[in-house]
């Protein structure tokens, strides 16, 4: 009976333990179900990883938990912890390197449960300031045969070590976590693709809408940083001539780096991409064998990826993203950057092409605007498309005012009789119709004030890439100088024929009278005839001299050649002596204060000025009146004047009388004195050649006062002074 009683009692004693075990399993199942629901409901990867660690610790009563996310080559690139304070994390320092028990799970990809970490043969110890841990449970998280990471638990609370039930729970949780991670990663990849497409679309719109390369490149580096969750992003453009990289765009870089502008290729890690032509990925800059130089070090970058930007196989720049933490470069970074780099290459090439086109356009525009001729282009319908400033100035308009107008209306050409040139006879029409260059024809261009400008007009066809004529370029050359030369030639011919005929007639008359055999002339009459011959000869010599001087002026020869220091009084006295034959009926007053500084002049040329002005005053002044010669000191020059008591010169004519061949009529209707109309023209040319100025005012008695200035001689020239000789003198 005792045995039966004992046998019956044993099941009763086991029932509470079994019930407890079942209740524990129910609690664990409920906790596992709750954890599974929590995991599968989380679609964001980073919060999901944190929930996995928290759920594992809660299921197994672990004090500490961690999830190591593996990167390329099986290295730990992220370490998510639970139970470790931020201060403890900071004190521990760098991420684990995957050695010891952690590395064993990474290598063998199986669950590992250890009662005492220190007793395990693979234990590598803990770094300084690491929390004490004894019991350990680790399991891999495998998704689609790819190990995403490893789940580590330590220090089971309420028990010396983790048991088989904990191992089963962690493996179950890891399986669910793998599926949840797969879903989250798939969703993340989908969202990433969406963001990439949006970014590429945004960049594409920027490429189409803007030729401002910095703006487009800035959009690209911002997109790269956003898509790859980078702390910084950069794009540098290669300058091969300078062997440097200059700033294309930077995102979240320091002002010091932005201020650099450019860096030498050999002085920065970015330059390695240019030198090798290959992408460069560094997951931990602290492990670099070669010290990192320049920007990487100064910006505190711990991991990065740099890729080359290629255009037609040639490296045009370097593009990349940077992280302030190690092992942060994601696996899919390279294809994302390569897609963006293609867009950057387009932006850089577009900018270069635009710059080249702009440079060529500016060069053509400079040529277009700098030519002395008027130039404009027309389309096939003869409307003006482009016009330079010169053609617009002919018409007193702006180039923009000509564009779009029919050329026959905006630029109405006329023939020699003032009739409009028919459109079919215009060079531009002929060039468009025949497709050949039309040589210049001389026509006239009406201008403001009823003036007509003589011009040569030529045209050449403009062709498109298929050699079809689409317009014409027209050149309008001002030939008024050619007309002026012809008018000058005719004027000189008329002047010479008229002015030489009179003195030659007088000379012949005097000489013929003296040679008459049947007449005896007394000495006084003979002397009068001979003086007349001399006077008319001087008149002819003066005409020839004026014409030679005019020829020198028209040809651009320098007039003031032999300059030296000359006393102002000597200049005026020599001019008076040279003009004595013309001053017989006038008195000359010389008003020159003592101590005037000498002037720096070509004495013979200025003597021509003073004698010309004296003779001019004598011609137009009544006999018996006085002509006054004066000089006075000024700050930088000496002012000379010749004043007569004649009729004067009207104010509106005082500029015109300096033009060649201009001679004013006498106010009282008397015949004009003989002359060429070149005297004041030559005086103006000589004075201005010396750096002076000549002008006309009204004299005190109502006559004309002609004033001119000459520069004072510097002290270095005053030692060698010269006295001018009158023309024709010894």
Report which listed range, 135-149, 293-307, 313-327, is most confident.
313-327
Q: What is the pLDDT of residues 455-483, one digit of tens each?
A: 899 999 999 888 999 999 999 988 877 77
Count of beta carbons in the 10 Å neighbourhood of residue 119: 9
- For 567, the token pair is 């006393």
Task: Place 349 in a pLDDT band, splitting at 50, 70 and 90.
Answer: confident
Mean pLDDT of 555-580: 83
- Cα-Cα-Cα-Cα dihedral of 578, 582, 583, 584, to 10°? 120
What's the pLDDT score for residue 555?
Answer: 62
What's the pLDDT score for residue 720?
Answer: 55
Mean pLDDT of 493-520: 75
**Topology annotation, domain 563-717:** Heat Shock Protein 90 (3.30.565)
Q: What is the DSSP string of 590-636?
A: EE--TTPPPEEEEHHHHHHHHHHHHHHHHHHSPTT-EEEEEEEE-SS
Which residues touch 308 (CB under 8 Å, ≥6 apart)?
Answer: 273, 274, 277, 278, 279, 315, 317, 318, 319, 341
What's the pLDDT score for residue 587?
Answer: 92
What's the pLDDT score for residue 729?
Answer: 36
Burial (CB < 10 A; 0-12, 13-18, 19+), residue 26, is exposed
93: left (phi over 0), alpha (psi -120 to 50) or beta: left
- For 326, the token pair is 């190690």
| Percent of the chain predicted with pLDDT > 70 | 79
What residues does each domain of the chain span? 24-189, 210-356, 371-472, 484-554, 563-717
What's the pLDDT score for residue 17?
Answer: 65
Domain 210-356 shares a fold with domain 484-554: no
Q: Look-up: residue for tokens 């007309």?
A: 483
d(C-alpha 47, C-alpha 514), whole Å: 135
What's the pLDDT score for residue 637?
Answer: 94
Instruction: Give strand pairing partners of 608.
Output: none
Q: What is the pLDDT of residues 719-728, one digit of tens each?
A: 555 555 554 4
pLDDT at 630 over 80: yes
Q: Tell me, what DSSP letter sits at residue 557?
A: -
d(C-alpha 458, C-alpha 690), whole Å: 41
What's the pLDDT score for residue 486?
Answer: 66
Q: Is 82 in a helix, a strand, or coil?
A: strand
Mean pLDDT of 602-613: 88
The domain defined by 24-189 carries CATH number 3.30.450.40: yes
Flag the least confident range among 124-128, 222-226, 609-613: 124-128
Q: Look-up: residue for tokens 């719109």?
A: 205
What's the pLDDT score for residue 708?
Answer: 96
Task: Place 40 in a pLDDT band, splitting at 50, 70 and 90.
Answer: low
What's the pLDDT score for residue 93?
Answer: 72
The mean pLDDT of the chain is 80
What's the pLDDT score for residue 492?
Answer: 62
What's the pLDDT score for residue 122?
Answer: 84
CATH architecture of 484-554: Orthogonal Bundle (1.10)
User: Of residues 338 and 45, which shows the higher confidence score?
Assistant: 338
Q: What is the pLDDT of residues 197-217, one digit of tens each?
A: 565 566 555 554 555 677 788
pLDDT at 10 over 60: no
Report which listed range, 92-96, 477-481, 539-543, 665-669, is most confident.
477-481
Beta strand 626-633 pairing with 637-643: antiparallel
Please tell me the class of the 210-356 domain: alpha beta
d(C-alpha 283, C-alpha 536), whole Å: 108
The domain defined by 371-472 carries CATH number 3.30.450.20: yes
The answer to whether 530 and 536 are in contact (CB under 8 A) is no
């Amino acid at each position: 009976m005792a045995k039966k009683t004992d046998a019956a009692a044993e099941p009763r004693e086991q029932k509470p333990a079994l019930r407890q075990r079942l209740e524990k399993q129910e609690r664990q199942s409920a906790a596992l179900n709750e954890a599974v629901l929590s995991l599968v409901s989380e679609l964001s990867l980073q919060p999901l990883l944190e929930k996995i660690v928290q759920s594992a610790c809660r299921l197994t009563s672990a004090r500490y938990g961690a999830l190591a996310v593996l990167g390329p080559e099986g290295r730990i690139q992220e370490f998510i912890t639970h139970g470790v304070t931020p201060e403890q994390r900071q004190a521990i320092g760098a991420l684990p390197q995957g050695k010891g028990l952690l590395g064993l799970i990474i290598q063998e990809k199986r669950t590992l449960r250890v009662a005492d970490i220190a007793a395990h043969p693979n234990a590598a110890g803990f770094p300084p300031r690491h929390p004490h841990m004894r019991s350990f449970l680790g399991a891999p998280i495998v998704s689609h045969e790819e190990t995403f990471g490893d789940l580590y638990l330590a220090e089971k609370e309420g028990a010396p070590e983790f048991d088989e039930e904990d191992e089963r729970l962690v493996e179950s949780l890891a399986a669910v976590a793998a599926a949840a991670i797969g879903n989250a990663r798939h969703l993340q990849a989908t969202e990433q693709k969406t963001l990439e497409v949006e970014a590429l679309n945004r960049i594409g719109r920027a490429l189409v809408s803007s030729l401002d390369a910095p703006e487009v490149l800035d959009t690209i580096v911002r997109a790269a940083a956003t898509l790859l969750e980078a702390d910084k992003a950069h794009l540098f453009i290669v300058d091969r001539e300078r062997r440097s990289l200059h700033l294309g765009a930077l995102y979240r870089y320091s002002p010091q780096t932005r201020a650099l502008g450019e860096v030498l290729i050999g002085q920065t890690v970015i330059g390695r991409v240019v030198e090798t032509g290959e992408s460069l990925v560094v997951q931990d800059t602290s492990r670099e064998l070669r010290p990192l130089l320049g920007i990487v070090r100064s910006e505190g970058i711990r991991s990065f990826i740099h890729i080359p930007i290629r255009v037609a196989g040639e490296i045009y720049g370097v593009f990349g993203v940077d992280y302030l933490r190690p092992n942060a470069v994601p696996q899919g970074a390279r294809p994302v950057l390569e897609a963006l780099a293609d867009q950057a290459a387009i932006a850089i090439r577009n900018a270069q092409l635009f710059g080249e086109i702009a440079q060529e356009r500016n060069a053509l525009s400079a040529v277009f605007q700098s030519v002395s001729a008027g130039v404009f282009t027309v389309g096939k319908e003869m409307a003006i498309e482009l016009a330079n400033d010169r053609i617009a100035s002919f018409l007193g308009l702006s180039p923009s005012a000509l564009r779009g107008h029919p050329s026959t209306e905006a630029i109405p050409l006329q023939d020699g009789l003032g009739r409009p040139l028919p459109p079919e006879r215009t060079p531009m029409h002929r060039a468009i119709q025949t497709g050949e260059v039309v040589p210049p024809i001389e026509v006239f261009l009406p201008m403001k004030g009823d003036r007509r400008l003589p011009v040569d007009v030529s045209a050449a066809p403009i062709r498109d890439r298929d050699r079809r004529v689409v317009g014409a370029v027209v050149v309008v050359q001002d030939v008024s100088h050619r007309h002026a030369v012809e008018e000058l030639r005719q004027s000189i011919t008329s002047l010479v024929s008229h002015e030489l005929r009179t003195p030659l007639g007088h000379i012949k008359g005097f000489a013929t009278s003296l040679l008459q055999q049947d007449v005896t002339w007394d000495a006084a009459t003979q002397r009068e005839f001979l003086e007349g011959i001399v006077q008319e000869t001087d008149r002819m010599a003066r005409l020839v001299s004026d014409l030679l001087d005019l020829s020198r002026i028209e040809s651009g020869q320098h007039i003031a050649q032999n300059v030296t220091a000359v006393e102002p009084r000597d200049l005026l006295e020599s001019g008076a002596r040279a003009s004595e034959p013309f001053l017989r009926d006038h008195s000359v007053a010389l008003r020159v204060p003592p101590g005037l500084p000498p002037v720096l002049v070509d004495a013979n040329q200025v003597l021509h000025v003073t004698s010309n002005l004296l003779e001019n005053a004598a011609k137009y002044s009544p006999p018996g009146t006085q002509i006054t010669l004066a000089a006075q000191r000024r700050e930088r020059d000496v002012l000379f004047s010749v004043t007569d008591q004649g009729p004067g010169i009207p104010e509106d004519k005082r500029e015109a009388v300096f033009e060649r061949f201009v001679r004013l009529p006498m106010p009282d209707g008397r015949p004009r004195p003989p002359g060429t109309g070149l005297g004041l023209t030559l005086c103006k040319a000589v004075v201005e050649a010396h750096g002076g100025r000549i002008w006309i005012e009204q004299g005190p008695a109502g006559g004309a006062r002609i004033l001119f200035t000459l520069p004072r001689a510097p002290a270095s020239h005053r030692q060698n002074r010269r006295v001018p000789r009158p023309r024709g003198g010894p």
